[in-house]
A and B are shown apart, each in its own frame.
Chain A
Amino acid sequence: MACCAFAVFLLSQLLMPVRWLMERLGIEEAARVNVSVRWSPAAAPETGVANTMHPLVKGVALAAALELLFAGGAIAAGSAIVNRFVSVEPSGFAARIHQTICQITK
């Protein structure tokens, strides 16, 4: 099953740290038994379809969201400090971009 093998290393390098962190934080991994594998036609419709967001994907999404939060907060804090102590007026296009960013991070 070569199709499984070709991304193993890269994916493991990216996802394993998230999994390690989740384990250390006590966030339970999805049950070791795969729900989809237990599925049978006699079961209720669509049961066993693992179509909720996988916990690992949730972890990565959370990390990305935190990253953006930190970045946004840093920009907002920096802008506030600059605006307090520096009286230089940004001009033209740069001013419009700056204003937009400040609005987003407020």
Chain B
Amino acid sequence: MTVADQSLPMLGASNFRPKRPVTMARQRRALTVYAVLFLTGLAPLLLQSQPWLQAAGLGLWMPGGGFLVDGGWYAALFPLTLILFLFSLVAWFWAGVVIAPPSVWGGSAVLAAVLARHAAGPVPHGVVALALVATVGFFYHRNAQRKVSDAQQRAARTQFLPKSIAEVRERSSSTPDASARELSTESLAAMRYLWDRALQPVEQFGGFDVVEQFQPSALRYQINHMGFVLGIAQGSYLPNFHGYHMDAQNNLIQKYLLRKVWGYWVYESCWGHLEFSNFDPAARDNIMLTGWFGMHVGQYMLNSGDRRYTKDGSLSFRLNDRTTYKHDFHTIINSVVENYEHYESQFCLYPCEPNWIYPICNHYGMTSLAVHDRLFGTNYVGRFLPTWLEKLDTEFTDDKGSIIGLRSKHLGVEVPFPVGEAGYSHFENCFAPERAQRLWAIARKEIEPLLTTGRDGLPRLKFPGKGFDVGNYSTGHVAAYAGVLAAAREFGDDDLAAAAQRGLDEDCSPDMTGGVRRYLTGSNLANTAAALGSIIRTGDYRRSFVEGPSERTLAGPLLAEARYPDVLVGRAYSDGDDLQLVLYPGNSEGRHTLGLSRLKPGQRYMVTGGEATEFVATGSGTATLDVMLRGRTAISVSPAS
């Protein structure tokens, strides 16, 4: 795999300002269009045209403004229309309903024209003009304040960054021994939370949050992130365990293909792209599906050695009895490639919902290219990353050097909200490790003020307020603590990871009912993040997408069958010839039968930890092994010399 680490926008350089040429061009275009609307709306007043024309014209200035022309009761429709317009902006953001804002704006102008009987002179125009000035003044003032605070924060970052980066590099350099990894009992309890959900029939969604399918609580995001955790476990701890762990991963991938999960795109195609016949979810835009799913499936194949999803039609989205959109891993990734080609000369980063560009989803997109490069020797990252990073730095970076979370493709406006460097860091670690370390170096320092002392007298993280869990739109800090925990682990920052873990355990109602670890005040998505934080160690996230287990390991003997939850697998590793297992009883101690495969046919194997001390593999390279599970049970299978 080729990875290009780009130089960063130089913090501290006096001439550093993102230039944003594409953004400026889009905003100029939007302002030009508005200027035309404004002048068109002014003309009826200047020409003393009929009331309905004046109402329509004033309605072009601001949503609902036309209702002021007639005066009287109709004037109440002006503020109500503004509120409705706000709802339409929410619909635009939430589900890509591009037609909503112009419908409300234009529709209210038409309605005002229909209702107008007499004109009240220039006063209504003065009122709307004042409202416009107030709106512009509000945003101007807010932007000015933000510029000041951004400059202060940039100055502070310039001071602490060199030392923090050095610390991050030192801590990131020590990676765990791939041949000695083992899931702890706590991590196994977290894995059970995921295995329980992933092993149910594909059509069932017990234990998932089903709220809506457009924004962060959507099923597809839960499925992808559960898949990521299982994929990391596969590569880091269980490369030689198939059985129920593989079943869980394949179930999640099959769940994703259900219309219940991807069907949101039918609506967004209609009201966002005005596309009423082709609802292929892996065609135009929709990187929130192709990038995420591409990462998920690619990671599974890289860490398991299974290549089933490269076959034609293996990832098909069935709309109904007549229409199926046939895809496989290559075509999913090809959608990302084609969209980056299409948008390369514009923002390069491209939309999720029609119109809305999320840099974070484009990080998933770039990571999906990275895993394809690793699997199939392509060079998509090398092809697109330079321009992608250039656009990220110039179009999606604010004055303090942080990534802007969301920008409108059509209008160029940004939606200012804090995403946090920690959120991007482990993604960039997959294709731009030095930039990723810089992101984490910033995040770890800026989170320091939240460190306090826990109940055990040790440092803990403490988030203020009630928090907000986007997994179910409720309050809570599970996702926030888990996010810091996972990022800290990825970069070897064990002290901060431990502080985040203490925050989780003290604030988020941990529960171990039935041997399954969960945080009761969190959503399914947040608990999945907590499971990730439990199992991940330095560099695991990156390795699971761009390295994977060695070919020798992936060719070695397998633990193919074990009964869940009776047998919990904490380790399954091969050096190519042997098989090292660590098992725990899931419910109670007892005797269980394991199924082994990919042994050398006819080979005699020696066993330690099992009831038999040796066996001979069948002609098809399989064997069964009886074991007595009592607490931590280590089993070794090695070929007799």
Interface of A with B (CB < 8 Å)?
A: 1-12, 14-16, 29-30, 32-34, 36-43, 45-51, 54, 56-57, 64, 67-68, 70-71, 74-75, 77-79, 81-82, 86, 88, 90, 94, 97-98, 101
Contact = CB atoms under 8 A, between A and B. Distances in A.
B114 A34 contact: no
Given A34-B523, A37-B527, A67-B80, A6 B423 contact: yes
A10 to B, nearest CB: 5
State the 7 A-B residue pairs at the shortest beta-carbon distance, nearest first: A9-B417, A2-B423, A39-B207, A51-B210, A1-B529, A5-B423, A78-B73
B418 A48 contact: no
Given A37-B207, A48-B207, A67 B83 contact: yes
Contacts of A75: 77, 111, 115
Contact residues on B (Cβ < 8 Å of other chain), bracket: 35 or more
Contacts of B473: 11, 15, 54, 56-57
Nearest to A33: B520
Contacts of A78: 72-74, 77, 115
Contact of B420 (A5, A10, A86): A5
Given A10-B417, A67-B84, A81-B72, A5 B206 contact: no
B410 to A, nearest CB: 18
13 contacts: A1-B486, A1-B532, A2-B423, A4-B216, A10-B417, A16-B468, A36-B207, A37-B518, A48-B206, A49-B210, A51-B205, A67-B87, A71-B84
Contact of B216 (A3, A57, A68, A77): A3
Contact of A36 (B115, B208, B215, B482): B208
B491 interface: no
B114 A98 contact: yes
B300 interface: no
B90 interface: yes
Most buried by A among B197, B209, B427, B519: B209
Contact of A74 (B74, B292, B486, B526): B74
B516 interface: yes
Contact of B468 (A12, A45, A98): A12
Most buried by B among A5, A10, A68, A86: A5
Most buried by B among A33, A43, A71, A77: A71
B80 A30 contact: no
Given A3-B364, A49-B205, A74-B76, 20 more contacts: A3-B292, A4-B483, A4-B529, A5-B423, A6-B360, A6-B419, A6-B423, A8-B470, A9-B405, A11-B216, A32-B521, A34-B523, A38-B513, A38-B520, A50-B472, A51-B205, A71-B80, A75-B115, A94-B113, A101-B114
B228 to A, nearest CB: 10
B427 A2 contact: yes
Interface string B69-103: 00011101100110110010010010000000000
Nearest to A51: B210
Interface in B195-244: 196-197, 199-200, 204-212, 215-216, 221, 224-225
Contacts, number: 199
Interface in B511-554: 511, 513-514, 516, 518-527, 529, 532
Given A57-B211, A74-B76, A94-B114, A43 B206 contact: yes
A40 B520 CA distance: 13
A10 B205 CA distance: 28
B289 interface: no
B143 interface: no
Contacts of A57: 211-212, 473
Contact of A79 (B115, B199, B470): B115
Most buried by A among B207, B427, B525: B207
A49 B260 CA distance: 14
Contacts of A6: 216, 358, 360-361, 405-406, 417, 419, 423
Interface of B: 52, 72-74, 76-77, 80-81, 83-84, 87, 90, 93, 110-111, 113-115, 117, 196-197, 199-200, 204-212, 215-216, 221, 224-225, 292, 358, 360-361, 363-364, 405-406, 415-420, 423-424, 427, 468-475, 479, 482-483, 486, 509, 511, 513-514, 516, 518-527, 529, 532
A4 to B, nearest CB: 5
Given A37-B518, A67-B83, A4 B525 contact: yes
Contacts of A2: 360, 363, 419-420, 423-424, 427, 483
B205 A5 contact: no
B479 A1 contact: yes
A32 B90 CA distance: 26
Contact of B80 (A5, A43, A70, A94): A70
A81 B76 CA distance: 14
A82 B468 contact: no
Contact of A41 (B199, B208, B420, B468): B199
Given A11-B470, A78-B74, A41 B196 contact: yes
Nearest to A5: B423
A90 to B, nearest CB: 7
A71 to B, nearest CB: 5
B227 to A, nearest CB: 13
A12 B80 CA distance: 22
A5 B363 CA distance: 13
A64 B104 CA distance: 14
B199 A77 contact: no
A74 to B, nearest CB: 5
B631 to A, nearest CB: 23
Contacts of A77: 73
Contact of A54 (B83, B211, B518): B211
A16 B212 CA distance: 18
B80 A46 contact: no
Given A6-B405, A36-B208, A79-B115, A41 B200 contact: yes
A33 B211 contact: no
B114 A90 contact: yes
Contacts of A8: 417-419, 468, 470
B359 to A, nearest CB: 8
Given A1-B486, A4-B471, A14 B73 contact: no
Contacts of A39: 196-197, 206-207
Nearest to B424: A2
